[in-house]
Chain A
Amino acid sequence: AQTVTQSQPEMSVQEAETVTLSCTYDTSESDYYLFWYKQPPSRQMILVIRQEAYKQQNATENRFSVNFQKAAKSFSLKISDSQLGDAAMYFCAFGGSNYKLTFGKGTLLTVNP
């Protein structure tokens, strides 16, 4: 079974600064997807970014980018120019062949003005 580990329960960053959230996973599959979801206080789950394992190039979405290290099974999220609206719980998720998403326990990001 796949496992997803987010080792940082909480992180904080100053507005306009850069922060990196860590995620590691364990799987025996070679073809899979990785996701970062954001859950603000409204509790809505919002897709931030996704990475296909077969792609070597790291995904980017505006201020959000990932560092995907397949051999190390690491998938970190970098948020540049942090904004107050980035404050939320961030979940790393693994999507493999068994139809479901497996989520980490989340990292609570605080953005300080």
Chain B
Amino acid sequence: DSGVTQTPKHLITATGQRVTLRCSPRSGDLSVYWYQQSLDQGLQFLIQYYNGEERAKGNILERFSAQQFPDLHSELNLSSLELGDSALYFCASSPSGQGGQETQYFGPGTRLLVL
């Protein structure tokens, strides 16, 4: 158990809908990262927040948005869902904002299926 929690574990929805994925980082960690894992794209970095502020953006679609709240939990919002958005979405956290230069601890993931 990494100490990172994600809810829900599974999500099934229809095209065109909007969903929210939630992540709570390890106690004391200030940074949260979101990754998408799909069969064709592999593991792709989406976005990073550090202490409530966006720090880095990766291959995140405009239909996707995220935020980190004062209690440091984060939410990833996916809207106008398409079949291709079906994937495993991971949240990771790390102690500070050093990103790739410190260990990132991953949550169990949210498996999203868009029908």
Answer whether residue B104 sits at the interface, using C-beta atoms and an 8 A cutoff.
yes
Report whether B106 and A50 are in contact in the complex, using a CB–CB cutoff of 8 Å.
no
Minimum C-beta distance from A111 to chain B (A): 22
Report whether B43 and A91 are in contact in the complex, using a CB–CB cutoff of 8 Å.
yes
Count residues on chain A whose CB falls below 8 Å from chain B CBs.
26
Minimum C-beta distance from A30 to chain B (A): 12
Contacts of B70 in A (CB 8 A): none
Report whether A96 and B100 are in contact in the complex, using a CB–CB cutoff of 8 Å.
yes
The docked-state distance in angstroms from the alpha carbon of A94 to that of B104 is 11
The docked-state distance in angstroms from the alpha carbon of A97 to that of B55 is 12
Answer whether residue A35 sits at the interface, using C-beta atoms and an 8 A cutoff.
yes
Contacts of A46 in B (CB 8 A): 2, 106
Answer whether residue A28 sits at the interface, using C-beta atoms and an 8 A cutoff.
no
Contacts of A105 in B (CB 8 A): 42
Answer whether residue A33 sits at the interface, using C-beta atoms and an 8 A cutoff.
yes
Near A by CB (< 8 A), chain B positions 67-115 give: 88, 90, 92, 97-106, 108-109, 111
- List the 8 closest pairs (A to B, CB-CB), nearest first: A95-B100, A99-B99, A45-B106, A100-B45, A99-B56, A103-B43, A96-B100, A99-B48
B interface, CB within 8 angstroms of A: 2, 33, 35, 42-43, 45, 48, 55-56, 58, 88, 90, 92, 97-106, 108-109, 111
25 pairs, CB–CB < 8 Å, chain A vs chain B: A32-B100, A32-B101, A33-B100, A37-B106, A43-B109, A44-B106, A45-B90, A47-B106, A91-B43, A95-B99, A95-B101, A95-B102, A96-B101, A97-B99, A97-B100, A97-B101, A98-B99, A99-B48, A99-B56, A100-B48, A100-B58, A100-B99, A101-B104, A102-B100, A103-B42
